[in-house]
Amino acid sequence: MKKDNDFFDNVYSVVRLIPKGRASSYGAIAKYLGSARGARMVGWAMNNSHAQSENVPAHRVVNRVGLLSGKNTFPSPFQMQALLEEEGIMVKDDQIENFDSVFWDPNTELDIER
DNA sequence: TGGGTGACCATAG
DNA sequence: ACTATGGCCACCC
């Protein structure tokens, strides 16, 4: 039988593939799954990521402006920023600095490049 | 069953 | 420039 949460599983897989010191965006992940099936679902999957036994580096996932949108949903809002800084990502005012540099797009990095 | 919500993104005024 | 609204699709009540 088919799994309804196939979408979630896909998201977790991609998030785990995010290299250290890099960050990705919800829309990029959603698009990588096939289309922007409502980037909101990606965030929601993250919200349920706590249900996953595997460690999902949700802290490496931010919105398109590099803002730590989900820090509020973390066990401790400071944990997300702390983890990011731990990996060398500079965070200022709940926003990633040089986001252009740390941005990791699965469509560009993983895929295809022909 | 139907309606509301959501860690978003894009376009229009 | 900023604010407002629509769209996307899965989950909860």
Nucleotides of B under 7 A from a protein CB: 6-10
Domains of chain A: 6-108 (1.10.10.10)
Global pTM reads 0.88
Q: Is the CB of A58 under 7 A from strand B?
A: yes
DSSP H helical ranges for chain A:
6-16, 26-32, 39-47, 77-86, 99-102, 106-109
pLDDT at residue A114, as a whole number: 44
Q: Which nucleotide is nearest to A7 (CA to C1')?
A: C10
pLDDT at residue A1, as a whole number: 46
pLDDT tens-digit readout, A16-72: 999 999 999 999 999 888 665 678 889 999 988 888 888 899 999 999 999 999 998
pLDDT tens-digit readout, A73-86: 888 899 999 999 99
Q: Which nucleotide is nearest to A73 (CA to C1')?
A: B7
Distance of C1' in B6 from CA in A110, Å:
28
